[in-house]
Amino acid sequence: MSDSIEGGWLYKEKGAVCGPVSAAVLIDKLFSGALDGETSIAPEFGEWRRLGEVPEFEAPLARALKARAEEKARLEKQRTQRRLAIGRAAILLLAALVFSSGGFVGGHVLAVTKPWEDKTDWTKRRPELVALSVKPVPQLGPSTGGTGGDDKVESGDAVASKEPGRSGGGKRTGKSRSSVGKGDKREDKVAAASTTTSPPAGNEDPKDDIPPVGGAENMDYNAAGLPRTLTQNQIMKVLATQKSGIINCLAAEAKTNPNMPSVVTIEFVITQKGTAAEFRVGERDLRSGPMADCLRSKVMSLRWPQFFGENKTVTLPFNIKRK
């Protein structure tokens, strides 16, 4: 350090001339922020200059500026951490207030309702009367005719339709049992005539061989006037409207599929609303492709009368006869 920096120094602070002081005092004031590079200083017997222009003070000024910048950053970081801590404390306080108010409300509800008390007042109240519809008592069929309560349409040994969980029964006619079987025997005969399509390539001729099968009607109704189930006659009458379309679907497949099985089965469910659901082809190898799509479109477009009993499961086989 030169002799000039070791001597006495004058400086101006807030318009007043102070000093003389040593260079160490000026450096301390630089670090404290009381002086900066724009402060006017002069030796005791020299000219006034800006502190930043005096070469002897360049290094101390740089260190002071760096230290002051670091201190400013540290203080800003502390203020930020303080604000975050205050925010977290406010959130925790708000959450505590919410939970405490919720506990107060819950405790008030428990105190009012007192669920731990044995309340048996409901046992003393009389239940409301419910109007029940009168259902006719099913009449037993003759001993030689069987029950006939399950609706079935068979092709070969395959069951075409059945109502699970119900046994036979018909509508009471008012006649004595002795007269049943002579003049009051009822059969629903469903005739599905064998229909021959135009002979496809390869002399293949698909037909639907569905023999007529009898079954007693089950016609008990609910309060809305809906029957419990559908008869075979009702089921087959609706299917007959798409009979030719179904045959055409099978014939188109027979023309292009030499490995087509001799029996093709379609399976579906008739819902209470009278719509078809859960359609599929029984043969696994034929469940996808043009024929399955064609059959599905025909069956899913059908509409049956509504009923209130269990859904009807229908299985309908078609014989594919080859010459």
Question: Domain boundaries in the chain?
Answer: 1-130, 154-322
pLDDT of residue 173: 43
SS3 242: helix
Pick out the chain residues at pLDDT < 70. 1-7, 116-219, 322-323
Whole-model pTM: value is 0.36
Helices marked H in the chain: 3-6, 23-32, 58-113, 232-239, 243-256, 290-300
Contact (CB, 8 A) for 242 and 264: no
Question: For residue 199, how many other CB atoms are within 10 A of its CB?
Answer: 13
Question: How do residues 85-136 score in pLDDT, each as one tens digit?
Answer: 999 999 999 888 888 877 778 778 877 777 766 666 656 666 666 665 555 5
Cα 200 to Cα 39, 237, 251: the distances in Å are: 112, 27, 7
Q: What is the pLDDT of residue 99?
A: 82
pLDDT in tens, 181-196: 444 443 343 333 333 3
Task: Please report the pLDDT score of residue 81 as a whole number.
Answer: 93
Residues with Cβ < 8 Å from 266, sequence gap 6 or more? 246, 279, 280, 281, 282, 295, 299, 315, 316, 318
Task: Using the Cα atoms of residue 217, residue 140, residue 226 and residue 309 in order, give the sign of their dihedral.
Answer: negative
**Per-residue pLDDT, 236:** 93
Identify the pLDDT of residue 188: 41
Which tokens sit at 96? 């505590």
Please give the span between the terminal C-alpha atoms of the chain, in angstroms, as a whole number.
Answer: 124
Residue 106 CA to residue 99 CA, distance in Å, equals 10
For 119, counting Cβ atoms within 10 Å of its Cβ (0-12 exposed, 13-18 middle, 19+ buried), the class is exposed
- Strand pairing partners for 50? 40
| CB-CB contact of 36 with 30 (8 Å) | yes
